[in-house]
Amino acid sequence: MYPFALADCRLCALPSGALYWPDQQLLCISDLHLGKSERIARRGGSLLPPYETRATLERLDSDIEATGARRIVCLGDSFDDLAAAEGLDSADQLWLTRLMAGREWIWIEGNHDAGPVEIGGSHLAELRLGPLRFRHIATSDPAEISGHYHPKLRLAGRALRCFLLDAQRLVLPAYGTYTGGLWSDDAILVGLMQPTALALALSKTILPLPMPR
Amino acid sequence: MRLPSALSDWFSAQGWALHPHQTEMLSRASEASTLLIAPTGGGKTLAGFLPSLAEITPETQGLHTLYLSPLKALAADIRRNLRRPVEGAGLPIRIEDRTGDTSYTQRRRQRADPPHILLTTPESLALLLSYEDAPRIFAGLKRVVIDEIHALAESKRGDQLMLQLARLQALNPGLRRVGLSATVEDPPALAAFLGSQTAILQADPGPDPDIQMLHTQAPPPWAGGGGRYAIADVLQQVAAHKTTLIFHNTRAQAEIFFHHLWLANTDDLPIGIHHGSLSRDQRARVEQAMTDGRLRAVVCTGSLDLGLDWGDVDLVIQVGAPKNIKRLVQRIGRANHRYNAPSKALLVPANRFEVIECQAALEAVRARTLDGDPRARGPRDVLCQHILATACAAPFDAGALYAEAISAGPYASLTRAEFDACLEFTATGGYALRAYDKWQRLMIRQGKHSLRDPRTAATIRQNLGTIIDTETLKVRLKGRMGGTPLGEVEEAFASTLTRGDTFLIGGQIVRYEGLNELTVEVTRQPGRDPKVAVFSGTKFATSTQLSERILRLLQQPDWPDLPAHTVQWLKLQRDLSRLPAPGRLLIESFPYDGREHLCLYGFAGRNAQQTLGLLLTKRMEDQGLNPLGFVATDYATLIWGLAPTPDPAALLSLQTLRHDLETWLSGNAVMKRGFRNIATIAGLIERQHQGRRKSGRQATFSSDILYDTLRKYDPDHLLMQLTREEAMRGLVDFGRLEDLLARIGTDIDHIRLNQPSPFAAPLFLEPGKIPIHGQGREKLAEEAARQLMRNAGLL
């Protein structure tokens, strides 16, 4: 758990890749890409092990349990596409419903799952809460929390997913199981983040370091 | 069967007389399956073709004979060699080759109008058989000739080829097959591989080779490969012979050696280089120059192990230990391609350990003892691919395909249940969780299996073949993104580097600065010894038989056959520590460079030594000794970590190791690499093409994630079973480790030193270090992150 402040809000980065905002009892995760294997199969690709939704929900479950979050914000690309949301296995659907029960659940639109999904909760293009804005893809607005890029970095010979943090914004790592990543020194991320940006690498604990660029 | 008179007249005009085994092949022309074993230079290939040359008449329609070779270069060379007698005798025979290098137009024409004799590779054949019109292309096929079958049988390419032969046999029940092989240790096993009814024809093996170790002015270095120290001596040998082949175990070493050979080549002897990473044009130019007799030497790798009859080669130089006596004998056969003349060969050990190995190999060659491991059953990932490829051609009946599969030698003992599991995997993924009923890859229609979506055939065809290319990264000088890269290194090697590591590339020493996208950034670091000596090692383990000879050699009191420098080194090891002995295990421990080290001299071959490293580090991790990594060679395993190991012998109980194996098997990097290869061959993951790798970084994820997911949710999945089985045999080689531990029992000698011993020191320069992702590394990562924060003034 790594506490930090953005626009005077006290936030916590978790080693799982989730963000927790204790004052709002809010848990934010990005890029779940649920149903990815189903989508690949539907398009005639390989039949990948169909367990990634289960694996992702398992981690989400334990994060909700551990933080006691009352409000969940999914920062976009929660489903690998809109059909994947409908094609969810019934056991996984039940699990998701159980997680949502009694909690405020907000689905932010992503580029993979733009448009409303036939599933409970609120569906928003973006969310403003206090000084913070939650949206899928970063813009030049201040106090912004986004996902989309799946940032990762190398540290002591290992590839690790990471948060990227500067005075203006936070970019979340991808939370989904079947997700690759973009190196933090990619031109897009170097252009997006301020020179003083930190990377919060996900290991057994969160390891903060200057963002490799 | 008799030769056409035009052909025998032409032979007589050339002054050629057929060897006895060539005549014998003619008289056996009608047999269903024949394996010819003959030494290099015995005219094997011609022997294989003689029946075809006799049978094909102006009336012969379509494809008559299919020739398969493991090498593209060989297919092209055979075409040239075969055309000579055919055109000389005016025979009405059309001969063409077809490989990945053949133009699209020509390949299309060949499908529409096949030649009488088609020369190709297993991969090109797989593609041909996957087309809908395969039955038409191969209609009327009479004979299949498989060249260098001993080489094909050593890999999955051979298993794939035998399944394809079964397919061809089903299309043409009268098909006759011929296998051509160099000397092997177990001819009946190879015959069974080719087919159940195979008869063996053994040609005269020829005289003993003339083989020695090269005497050099400078002693070999302590570690590393490449043999640069011997450049001057090798040049002298090249000057004293007509044509020399200089074999290296890896492409990288061949490149580096070639570079330095040229720098020292003040007489401007014409010398070329040949290996699989060079462009087709470059390879073709060298082959042509060699055929024309314009080259005095060729620096080469396994790409010249086979084929290409160059009669003028009168010396073979092997740089680096041969690892395996059988391959050495086959390589030596490349010299003096005249039948019944002794081959001349020189061995150049690349380091001190290899001096001993080369001496042991020399003795084995003189004693005519070959080594080799029995072939495993046909791998089922290859079968999965074959099922998919068959579905691309046409809907198939499962029972008929099973019958076809077990007619292939390697799959003779395949059970119906095993076959069905493979079929289930290709159709539905074969998961415990039934997820893809709607999106099956194969569906049963009218009792036959067919592709659900015919468009997927294109993807399946793109992924055919069992050769997995190692992914490589370009190496560039930092700050110069344009211009020519210094070279390429394997991705796996790049991932072992940390900033400041120095290594050799293109003959120069560079310092690793970091990875940028898909480029390894380096700076020049002149005048320092490289920390990591080479960037790609040979994957073959030194054979059991050779290792035993090495251990026996170490027991000699004063080593009369070894050079003085090596004797000196051995004496030093004997004085400061101890020499490894048969039936005992020597373990040394010592501090060095701020880390604790443990070195085990098992002489069990690279793979088993690697397994030993993985199992022991697992134990050490459990005991809080914070191991950080290890490196394994054919002779020893060197482990380093944060804490000393008080009683290493206690770690070595076979029972505990076997118990740990199952847990350990599931989580390690070697298994993940094996899984990636199996999943690629079986069609679960697509081959990574350069372009897609670059654009799709964010979307694609590593196959490690698939492995971890299966391990957690579906540990008995077919691909997990296959990964485990294969690892036990090959990469893990647990059998050899068990043999070692059974042999030594409690005879373990642990010696505590205050610095690396003469034997241990070279291990520090070995490539292929494997990191342990445990508590030790976690501590280092925390420290590294803290240091970076401190440097940035943030802490």
Q: Which residues of B touch A205 (CB under 8 A)?
A: 782
Structure tokens at B111: 């499908």
Q: How far is CA B524 from CA A73, B226, B485, B486, in A?
A: 49, 21, 13, 11
Binned at pLDDT 50, 70 and 90, residue A212 comes out as: very high
Range in B295-304, B434-443, B764-773 with the lowest mean pLDDT: B764-773
| Distance from C-alpha of B543 to C-alpha of B606, rounded to nearest angstrom | 10
CA distance B456 to chain A (A): 6
Domains of chain B: 5-202 (3.40.50.300), 210-366 (3.40.50.300), 380-462 (no CATH), 472-539 (no CATH), 577-670+728-780 (no CATH)
Plot region of B527 (φ>0 → left; ψ -120 to 50 → alpha; else → beta)? left
B772, pLDDT greater than 80: no
Which stretch of B63-67, B493-497, B638-642 has the lowest confidence by average pLDDT?
A: B493-497
Lowest-pLDDT choice from A152-156, B359-363, B365-369, B475-479: B475-479
- Give the model's pLDDT for residue B487: 66
* Higher pLDDT pick, B586 / B543: B586
**DSSP per position, B239-273:** HHSSEEEEE-SSHHHHHHHHHHHHHH-TT---EEE
SS3 B93: coil
Which residues in chain A are contacts of B496 at CB distance < 8 A? 157
Q: Which residue has the tokens 């790592």?
A: A173
Residue B309's pLDDT is what? 60
> Which of B429, B697, B789 shows the shortest C-beta gap to A208?
B789
pLDDT, residue B688, reads 62
Strand partners, A6: A9
Rounded to whole angstroms, the Cα distance separating A146 from B19 reads 77
Over residues B95-113, mean pLDDT: 89
B718 has pLDDT over 90: yes
Q: Measured over all CA atoms, what is the biggest interatomic distance in chain B, rounded to whole angstroms?
A: 91
How many Å lie between the alpha carbon of B621 and the closest alpha carbon of chain A?
Answer: 16
pLDDT tens sequence across B258-277: 878 888 888 889 998 887 65
> Do residue B780 and residue A177 have CB atoms under 8 angstroms apart?
no
Q: Reduced to 3 DSSP states, what percent helix, strand and coil does chain B have, rounded to the nearest 5?
A: 45, 15, 40
Establish, for the pair of chains A and B, how many residue pairs have beta carbons separated by less than 8 Å: 124
Architecture of domain A2-210: 4-Layer Sandwich (3.60)
Which tokens is A11 given? 């936030």
- C-alpha B534/C-alpha A2 separation (Å) is 41
The one-character DSSP state at A17 is S
The predicted pLDDT at position A159 comes to: 82
Range in A142-156, B176-190, B306-320 the model is least confident about: B306-320
State whether residue B449 is helix, strand or coil.
strand
DSSP-derived pairing of the beta strands B472-477 and B519-524: parallel
Using the predicted structure, report yes or no on whether residue B583 has a pLDDT greater than 70.
Answer: yes
Query: Under an 8 A CB cutoff, do B713 and A180 touch?
Result: no
Are B785 and A52 an interchain contact pair (Cβ–Cβ within 8 Å)? no
Cβ <8 Å between A51 and B714? yes
Instruction: Select the more confidently predicted residue: A173 or A120.
Output: A173
The answer, yes or no, to whether residue B245 has pLDDT greater than 80, is yes
Smallest CA–CA distance from B435 into chain A, residue: A50
Q: What is the mean pLDDT of residues A193-201?
A: 96
- Residue pointed to by tokens 């007799």: B293
**Residue tagged 């990964």 (tokens):** B723
User: What mean pLDDT value characterizes chain A?
Assistant: 93
A49 and B713: CB-CB below 8 Å? yes
Provide the strand spans (E) within B336-494. 344-348, 442-445, 448-451, 472-477, 487-490
**Nearest Cα residue to B630 out of B534, B491, B774:** B774
CB contact under 8 A, A46 and B705: no
Who has greater pLDDT, B249 or B238? B238
Nearest residue on chain A to B515, alpha-carbon basis: A154
Q: What is the mean pLDDT of residues B203-225?
A: 84
CB contact under 8 A, A155 and B784: yes
Q: Quick check: B535 pLDDT over 70?
A: no
What angle is formed at CA B614 by the lines to CA B610 and CA B617, rounded to 5 degrees?
130
Instruction: Name B126's Cβ contacts closer than 8 Å, sequence gap at least 6.
Output: B160, B164, B389, B464, B465
Q: What is the pLDDT of residue B206?
A: 78
Locate B136 and state its tokens: 């038409």
pLDDT reported for residue B72: 78
Residue of B nearest to A201 (CA): B785
Domain ranges of chain A: 2-210
Q: Which residues of B touch A89 (CB under 8 A)?
A: 433, 435
**Residue B754 in this model has a pLDDT that exceeds 70:** yes
Spatial neighbors of B268 by CB under 8 A, at least 6 apart, are none
pLDDT of residue B696: 38
Of residues A134 and B631, more confidently modeled? A134
Nearest-by-Cβ selection for A210 from B435, B697, B788:
B788
Q: Are B780 and A156 within 8 A, CB to CB? A: yes
Is it the case that residue B434 has pLDDT exceeding 90? no
Report how far apart, in Å, the C-alpha atoms of B537 and of each of A157, B53, B153 are.
20, 43, 22
What is the C-alpha to C-alpha distance for residues B46 and B44, in angstroms, rounded to an integer? Answer: 6
Q: What pLDDT, on a 0 to 100 scale, did the predictor assign at position B692?
A: 45
Q: Which residues pair with B532 in a beta bridge?
A: B503
Nearest-by-CA chain B residue for A77: B699
Give which of B381, B424, B428, B439 to mutate to test A binding, by max A Cβ within 10 Å. Answer: B439
- Is 70 exceeded by the pLDDT of residue B643? yes
Residue B287, classed as helix, strand or coil, is: helix
CB-closest option in A37, A150, A209 to B788 = A209
The answer to whether residue B473 scores a pLDDT higher than 80 is: no
Give the residue-averaged pLDDT of B615-635.
Answer: 88
Instruction: Give the model's confidence band at B691: pLDDT under 50 very low, under 70 low, under 90 confident, else very high.
Output: very low
Using the predicted structure, report yes or no on whether residue B87 has a pLDDT greater than 70.
Answer: yes
**Which residues in chain A have their CB less than 8 angstroms from residue B706's CB?**
48-49, 178
Spatial distance between the Cα atoms of B664 and B614, rounded to a whole number of angstroms: 8
Q: Measuring CA to CA, how many Å separate A43 from each of A36, B440, B693?
A: 11, 11, 20
Test A38 with B435 for CB contact under 8 angstroms: yes
Average pLDDT, chain B: 85
Tokens of B310: 């160059």
Could you tell me if B150 and B182 are in contact, meaning their C-beta atoms sit under 8 angstroms apart? yes
| DSSP 8-state secondary structure symbol assigned to residue B332 | H
* Statement: residue B699 has pLDDT above 60: no
Residue A26 DSSP code: E
Between CA B294 and CA B271 the distance in angstroms is 9
Mutate which: B698, B711, B714, B770, vs A, most A CBs within 10 A: B698
* CA distance linking residue A164 with residue B571, whole number of Å: 58
CA distance A157 to chain B (A): 6
Among B579, B533, B530, CA closest to B557? B579
pLDDT of residue B537: 40
Sequence letter at residue B711: R
Residue A63, min C-alpha distance to chain B (Å): 19
Centre a 10 Å sphere on the Cβ of residue B114 and count the other Cβ atoms it contains. Answer: 24
Query: Rounded CA gap, B440 and A82, in Å?
Result: 21
- Strand, helix or coil for residue B794: coil
Q: What is the per-residue pLDDT for B768?
A: 63
List of chain A residues whose C-beta atoms are within 8 Å of the C-beta of residue B780: 156
The answer to whether A89 contacts chain B (CB < 8 Å) is yes
Q: Say yes or no for a CB contact (<8 Å) between B710 and A208.
A: no
| A48 contacts B429? CB cut-off 8 A | yes
pLDDT-above-90 percentage for chain B: 44
Using CB atoms, which residue from A38, A48, A209 is nearest to B789?
Answer: A209
Of B496, B697, B780, nearest to A180 by CB-CB distance is B697
- Which of A48, A158, A183 lies closest to B781 in CB terms? A158
* Nearest chain A residue (CA) to B788: A209
- Indicate the residue type of B382: V
**Whether pLDDT at B27 is above 70:** yes
The per-residue pLDDT for B792 is 80
Helix (H/G/I), strand (E/B), else coil: B508: strand
**Which position has the higher pLDDT, B452 or B511?**
B452
Least confident of A9-18, B343-352, B367-376: B367-376
**Of the candidates A209, A206, A190, A201, which has an alpha carbon nearest to the alpha carbon of residue A159?**
A201
Instruction: Pick the residue of B676, B681, B701 with the most A CBs within 10 A to test the interface with A by mutation.
Output: B701
For residue B451, the tally of other CB atoms under 10 A from its CB is: 20
As to burial, measured by CB atoms within 10 angstroms (0-12 exposed, 13-18 middle, 19+ buried), residue B690 is: exposed
- The answer to whether residue A208 neighbours chain B at the CB level (below 8 Å) is yes
User: How would DSSP label each residue in B544-605?
Assistant: HHHHHHHHHHHTSSS-TTS-HHHHHHHHHHHHHS----TT-EEEEEEEETTEEEEEEE--S-
pLDDT of residue B767: 63
Decide if A49 touches B, using CB distance below 8 A.
yes
**Which tokens is A115 given?**
């448009």
Q: Do B785 and A209 touch (CB under 8 A)?
A: yes
Q: Which of B125, B121, B177 is nearest to B151 (CA)?
A: B121
Pick the more confident residue, B787 or B32: B32
B79-83, B653-657, B662-666 — most confident range = B79-83
Q: Which residues of B touch A158 (CB under 8 A)?
A: 771, 773, 777, 781
Residue B453: other Cβ atoms inside 10 A:
15
Which H or E element spans position A124? strand A122-124
What pLDDT score does B538 carry?
44
Environment class of residue A68 by beta-carbon count within 10 Å: exposed (0-12), middle (13-18) or buried (19+)?
exposed
Q: What is the dihedral of CA B477, B483, B488, B493, to 10 degrees?
A: 30
Whether A38 and B439 lie within 8 Å, measured CB to CB: yes
Average pLDDT over residues B157-182: 96
B429/A208 CB distance under 8 A: no
Q: Which long-range contacts (CB under 8 A, 24 or more apart) does B46-50 make?
A: B46/B22, B46/B81, B46/B82, B46/B85, B47/B19, B47/B21, B47/B22, B47/B180, B48/B145, B48/B147, B48/B178, B48/B180, B49/B82, B49/B117, B49/B145, B50/B3, B50/B18, B50/B22, B50/B25, B50/B26
pLDDT at B694 over 70: no
Tokens of B466: 């069992």
SS3 B613: helix
Q: How confident is the model at residue B714 (pLDDT cuts 50, 70, 90)?
A: very high
Cα(B588)–Cα(B638) distance, integer angstroms:
9
What backbone torsions phi and psi does residue B782 show, to the nearest 5 degrees?
A: -60, -45
Q: Are A150 and B685 inside 8 Å of each other by CB?
A: no
* Of residues B495, B685, B705, nearest to A46 (C-beta): B685
Radius of gyration of chain A (CA): 16
DSSP state letter for B626: -
In chain A, which residues have their Cβ closer than 8 Å to the Cβ of B441?
A: 47
pTM, two decimals, is: 0.80
Give the residue ranges of DSSP H helices in B301-414: 325-332, 352-366, 380-393, 398-406
